[in-house]
């Protein structure tokens, strides 16, 4: 009688089954379809590739851009070492412009000048109209001027790309490593004809990632509603990252339009100059009077992971004349301490005209009201509230208080697993919809 010996060989195999998010997953390097979009002495090769995901979707990496689209205007140079426009200040750069650079969004609009430094590439839309794209897709580092005429209110929408040498793997040859995951970052300042700053990048902008790589372990990414997180993923350098993964999401068709619903988009993360590494780059340091203006310092922004997120869209709405333009941050109106708290109460210090007070409400993240008062209260008893996140609405007479939510989002991440209660502050006009509720649960 013959005996058969069955041997089972178990081979570790990482599959998409380990990934539980909403992205399309690719592994390994992409096939190069364009060797280099732009040549610059001392610059890196800016290639384009395609790669097929496990769900059979074909992705263009690092992004499908308009760099070669002649209908999409190039920005003007603020500083560009690739073509010799090494301007020492903005006055020199502006003197080189003759007005043909101005993009007309509204013929009867006011002239707005935008100053942009992007690591690495950007495309800007105003109310859905292309107004300027970066002159250099990768390096050397440059900065740009974009001028356009538009009526307020208007919407700024930008596509941002952290370029890559290892196509499909979000990395470059740097620091002695063949697979170094570089960082992104973008800073912008918008000024009117009187040189007043009407908008600047900070954490009130919305930002969402659509391409994240390299991912070494598919179990490390997570999602909270529309918030795509990779804070638990490694950003280590490597000399063999050819089997690493990437996450891809499709951009909404109308993401650049004025009527795009950005409600559920996360707020941007902000980063310091040293975190982005611009202190030795003349394209930035020659213009710190603009980007780091005293009292109106613009901040570098990106999605939550400035190293792993490679394709990001950001949006911001500039207020109109009928809206409150000089809005005050709610933190200048009310101070709550301790926050977050593991105590049984919050103390409230009001910095308002008492006669302007209308009411105060507290909501949970489902939008359910848990407290309301039409009288000023200086202490909130939270003994009966479960640990979690709560929102205060402070309504004043004839006053629109404006703030952002992304600082609170950072705190949400930091205390999510702790036994804390936290108060978030946002304008009374804000309305929770179903998507936003899910984003902050």
* Residue/partner pairs of 54-58 with CB below 8 Å, 24 or more apart: 54/15, 54/16, 54/24, 54/25, 54/26, 54/27, 55/16, 55/24, 55/25, 57/24, 57/248
Residue 186 within a domain: yes
Same domain, 353 and 434: yes
Question: Last residue of a domain, which of 265, 286, 318?
Answer: 318
Question: Last residue of a domain, which of 296, 318, 340?
Answer: 318
pLDDT for the residue numbered 138: 98
Same domain, 268 and 335: no
CB 425 within 8 A of CB 350: no
Same domain, 390 and 269: no
Residue 195 within a domain: yes
Same domain, 88 and 128: yes
- Which residue segment(s) compose the domain that 200 sits in? 76-318
Question: Last residue of a domain, which of 265, 285, 318?
Answer: 318
Q: Among residues 96, 101, 94, 114, which one has the least CA distance to residue 73? A: 101
Residue 434 within a domain: yes
The bridge status of strand 186-191 relative to strand 110-118 is antiparallel
User: In the chain, helix, strand, coil percent, each to 5?
Assistant: 10, 35, 55
Same domain, 296 and 370: no
Residue 36 within a domain: no
| Domains contained in the chain, number | 2
Residue 359 within a domain: yes
361 conformational bin, left if phi > 0, alpha if psi -120 to 50, beta if neither: beta
DSSP, residue by residue, 177-227: EEEE-----EEEEEE-TTS-EEEE-STTSEEEEEEEEEES-TTS-EEETTE
pLDDT tens, position by position, 289-331: 999 999 899 999 999 999 999 999 999 999 875 443 333 445 5
CB 71 within 8 A of CB 130: yes
Residue 59 within a domain: no
Those residues of the chain that have pLDDT short of 70 are 1-17, 321-334, 339-344, 363-368, 387-389, 397-441
Residue 25 within a domain: no
Same domain, 117 and 202: yes
Same domain, 92 and 140: yes
Q: Which residue shows structure tokens 């302007």?
A: 356
Same domain, 143 and 251: yes
Same domain, 183 and 207: yes
Same domain, 290 and 183: yes
Q: Which residues pair with 161 in a beta bridge?
A: 121, 311
């Amino acid at each position: 009688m013959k005996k058969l010996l069955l041997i089972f060989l178990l081979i570790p195999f990482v599959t998409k089954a380990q990934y539980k998010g909403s992205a399309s997953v690719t592994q390994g390097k992409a096939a190069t379809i364009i060797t280099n979009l732009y040549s610059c002495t001392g610059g890196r090769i800016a290639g384009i590739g395609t790669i097929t995901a496990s769900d059979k979707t074909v992705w263009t990496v690092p992004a499908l851009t308009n760099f070669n689209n002649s209908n999409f205007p190039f920005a003007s140079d603020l500083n560009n070492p690739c073509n010799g426009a090494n301007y020492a200040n903005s006055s020199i750069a502006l003197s080189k412009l003759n007005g043909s650079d101005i993009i007309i969004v509204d013929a009867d609009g006011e002239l707005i000048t935008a100053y942009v430094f992007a690591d690495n590439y950007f495309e800007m839309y105003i109310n859905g109209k292309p107004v300027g794209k970066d002159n250099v897709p990768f390096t050397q580092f440059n900065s740009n001027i974009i001028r356009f005429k538009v009526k307020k209110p208007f919407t700024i929408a930008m596509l941002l790309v952290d370029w890559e040498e290892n196509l499909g793997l979000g990395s470059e040859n740097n620091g002695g490593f063949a697979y170094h995951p570089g960082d992104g970052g973008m800073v912008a300042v918008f000024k009117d004809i009187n040189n007043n700053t009407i908008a600047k990048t900070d954490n009130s902008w919305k930002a969402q990632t659509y391409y994240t790589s390299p991912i070494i372990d598919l179990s490390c990414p997570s999602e909270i509603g529309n918030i795509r997180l990779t804070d638990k993923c490694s950003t280590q350098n490597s000399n063999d990252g050819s089997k690493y993964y990437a996450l891809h999401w499709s951009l909404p068709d109308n993401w650049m339009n004025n009527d795009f619903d950005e409600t559920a988009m996360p707020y941007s993360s902000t980063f310091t100059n040293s975190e982005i590494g611009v202190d030795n780059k003349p394209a930035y340091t020659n213009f710190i009077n603009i980007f780091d203006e005293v009292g109106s310092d613009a901040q570098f922004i990106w999605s939550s992971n400035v190293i792993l997120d490679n394709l990001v869209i950001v949006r911001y709405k500039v207020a109109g004349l009928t809206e409150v333009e000089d809005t005050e941050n709610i933190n200048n109106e009310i101070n709550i301490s301790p926050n977050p708290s593991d105590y049984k109460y919050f103390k409230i210090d009001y910095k308002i005209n008492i006669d302007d007070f209308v009411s105060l409400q507290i909501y949970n993240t489902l939008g359910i009201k848990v407290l309301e008062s039409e009288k000023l209260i200086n202490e909130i008893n939270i003994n009966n509230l479960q640990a979690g996140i709560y929102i205060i609405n402070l309504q004043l007479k004839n006053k629109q208080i404006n703030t952002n939510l992304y600082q609170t989002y950072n705190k949400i991440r930091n205390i999510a697993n702790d036994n804390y209660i936290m108060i978030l502050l946002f304008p009374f006009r804000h309305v929770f919809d179903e998507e936003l509720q899910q984003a902050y649960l």
